[in-house]
Structure 1
Amino acid sequence: MLLTCPKCAATYDVPDNAIGPNGRKIRCRACETSWQEPPRSAVTPPPPLQPPPTIPEPIKAERVPEDDVPAHRRRRGPWLLLALVVLAVALGVAAAVLAFGSQQVASRLGLAGNRVPLGIAITRQPDWRQIGGGGQLFAVSGRIWNPTGQEQVVPDIRAELKDRQGHSLYSWTITRPVPRLAPGQSALFDGAAVDVPPASANISVSFAGTDGN
């Protein structure tokens, strides 16, 4: 049998008759802790194994004549068919989104809103430039591209300056570099503003006229 020290958890393998009917005082060799080991008769025996539950025989359903079926149960047929049709439409929409992209599917369904399916990013660190009269010019440069498989109209670009807390301080519109972009085509843009707030810490660019702008 195995004995375990209650303090350091050291274990000792001793013969089953080493404890005796009256118990025995044990001392751990690792940490010198002493404890009283109860007699073997005081150890609770494990519970007897329970027999496995009996699985009842399956109940065979009997066919009920339609005249005996309640009317509210017979009315479930049309609703079940409608649920199957809705499920098939949902699966079709999901397959279309995977095949063509959510933006194109939403556009065909008239749900696209004003979102422009073009990419836009700042490609060079914005900088301050001195101009005549002691003023300063804030310049930003970037790139737009068409990741779709169709020609897209390019709107004007909106640049926005924010402080370190994310509050909008100043914004202006940059004229679009090209009117349209073919699939996979890109174009560079440049924009500048004067007399912008000195507390400006961050700049973002987006397409003018889109949702949220």
Structure 2
Amino acid sequence: MILVCPACHTRFHIEVGALGTHGRKVRCAKCRQVWHAEPPEDAPRELAETPAGYAPPPPAARRAGAGVLAWFGASLCVAALAYAVVYRDDVVRAWPQSAPLFRTANLTLAIDEAVKVEDVAASRMFESGVSVLVVEGAIVNRSNAAAPAPAVRVVLIGEQGRELATELVTIGAVEISAGDRVPFTARMINPPREASTYRISLEAAPT
């Protein structure tokens, strides 16, 4: 924009943004006259300008507001956890991978009561001179509704309950129909000689 000195009428160019939102004092380069120059009415205003009369909240109020938000967020988390615990069977049906989380927390699941491992038998044999342990059985769904198909974990145990080897077996099915039974076979190559027993457990099938 063009400014005109009110004393000597010298004209000179200045950027509108240099005057700010409310104008500022300028000095004539020729006669050294000083006056307050206002930006034109159609000049763009700063979007971040603080409204007149605005005062930021005191630090204590800001801390209180942050505390309320933190309390609200914590309340939502507690409510979500409570819902997941109460309706954990529904959660496991929708998300089978969550089952180990509930079992770790010692929470019983309907699937644990409905789906069982039965008719388990283990035998050692040699195939082409290699020792192989074969564990066979069936997963049975005793409930009246279909259940997510679990994986079968076979753990070989030695003295003092020490776990020596483990094998995870999937049965190739997404779910087991009500009243149905699905066979499984676990083969462990060169099982530890010191293994004296084994343990079978069910867990969510890997995706």
What TM bracket, shorter-length normalisation?
0.3 to 0.5
- TM, length-normalised to structure 1: 0.43
